[in-house]
Amino acid sequence: MLQVTDIRENKEKYIQALAKRGIDATSTLEEVLTYDEERRATQAQLDDVLAQSNSYSKEIGKLFQSGEVQKANELKAKTVALKESSKQLNEKMLIAAEKLQELLFTLPNIPNDLVPAGTDENDNEEIFKEGEVPTLHEGALPHWELAKKYDLIDFELGVKVTGAGFPVYKGKGARLQRALITYFLDKNTKAGYTEYQVPLLVNEASGYGTGQLPDKEGQMYHVGVDDLYLIPTSEVPITNLFRGDLLNNSDLPITCTSYTPCFRREAGSYGAHVRGLNRLHQFDKVELVRVEHPDNSYKALDGMVEHVQDILRELKLPYRILRLCGGDLGFTSALTYDFEVFSTAQDRWLEISSVSNFETFQANRLKLRFKDSDGKNKLVHTLNGSSLALPRVLAGILENYQTADGIRIPEVLVPYCGFDMID
């Protein structure tokens, strides 16, 4: 959530920055400032009324003590009127504050200066590419056909039990999935991240805290009876562990990793590009979350990018890194790098990780602050990244490592799998 004080001081800057996202925020920001002015003016009036009421109360006590009962009763009558006035002013202030909050919730984060202009994924900027795309044998198959051929994943059984987008992993497919999860967690914990196991359901406050609500309400599975949401990523519960905290400078950075299943409705997704593991309603993901001092957050972002690169180098998968343009940037993000693995059998790039800096956007919603060395309470910066999302990594391994005799296992995963070939 954007900070009203910053909008008040830099309205034109905010208008220009949000234009990079393709948003004309002029009228919304003006409305924000109108409600903010009304809230502050009403608060000033309320403070005056309360101060006058307190002054009268003290005076009434003195008058009763001195026996001036008539004057005391006259002031008491005035305090009754002041109480009614304060009640009305308080209601007016709360309404203005509520409308202000609603407007702020609709505004996305301000893009970092590095974010390129653009309207959609076609305008994202490729900044790095590495790895050799393998030449596959004649008759090479896409991963959904490989999964069926080697009995690794049963998409039809998932439809039978739940519906489309809920696959069932079997045999070596399940073991490879488990191996990837353990490998990712081991890499993360060795890099200094603390492992967490977190709830898969969160309350509404958690959804608002990290920015999934109200922006992505239609993409989240909602348990109506209990008013809880299935998590779209473990970023939500992990980051909310620190909601409302006032940290010490020495507490930073906080580095967390977690494996969870993730749930997304993916409403409106259809076509050939969502076949197999390309897009699911339930999928596994290992996540990184960092809580950082603002001065260090972009150095931390670079470190997260290097960490994901190291994983992909060990898996020996061809990949590229994109800097997302304003039109493709997530609602909460100030700067995002997407990692994509090349799917040789599909002849297309598959997104497998997003690494983002949210700056103070989430922290402002979470009221997550730290006491800086100057003694002032300030908002932290929060960051997160996939390390990694499993479905498309698995798809990339199945397709890029296939041979005429079977599917080889990346060398780094063999100790985790207990086998080096799927045949």
Dihedral over alpha carbons 28, 33, 38, 41 (to 10 degrees) = 170
Binding residue numbers for ATP: 264-266, 351-354
Q: What Cα–Cα distance (Å) separates residue 85 from each residue in 49, 80, 96, 127, 405? A: 8, 9, 17, 61, 84
Instruction: Classify 334 as helix, strand or coil.
Output: coil
Binding residue numbers: 233, 264-266, 287, 351-354, 384
Q: What Cα–Cα distance (Å) separates residue 132 from each residue in 140, 284, 351? A: 17, 27, 17
Tens digits of pLDDT across the chain (423 residues): 899 999 999 999 999 999 999 999 999 999 999 999 999 999 999 999 988 888 877 887 777 778 777 777 777 788 888 888 999 999 999 999 999 999 999 999 999 999 999 999 999 999 999 999 999 999 999 999 999 999 999 999 999 999 999 999 999 999 999 999 999 999 999 999 999 999 999 999 999 999 999 888 889 999 999 999 999 999 999 999 999 999 999 999 999 999 999 999 986 555 556 789 999 999 999 999 999 999 999 999 999 999 999 999 999 999 999 999 999 999 999 999 999 999 988 999 999 999 999 999 999 999 999 999 999 999 999 999 999 999 999 999 999 999 999 999 999 999 999 999 999
Binding residue numbers for L-serine: 233, 264, 287, 384
Instruction: Classify 342 as helix, strand or coil.
Output: strand
Spacing of C-alpha 100 from chain mean position:
22
Write down the pLDDT at residue 272.
55
Q: 213 CB contacts (<8 Å, ≥6 apart)?
A: 204, 207, 220, 229
Number of Cα atoms under 13 Å in the Cβ half of residue 334? 20
Structure tokens belonging to residue 286: 């290992």
- DSSP-derived secondary structure letter, 117: P
| pTM, rounded to two decimals | 0.92
Number of Cα atoms under 13 Å in the Cβ half of residue 68? 11
- DSSP-derived secondary structure letter, 218: G
How far apart CA 334 and CA 113 sit, in angstroms, is: 9
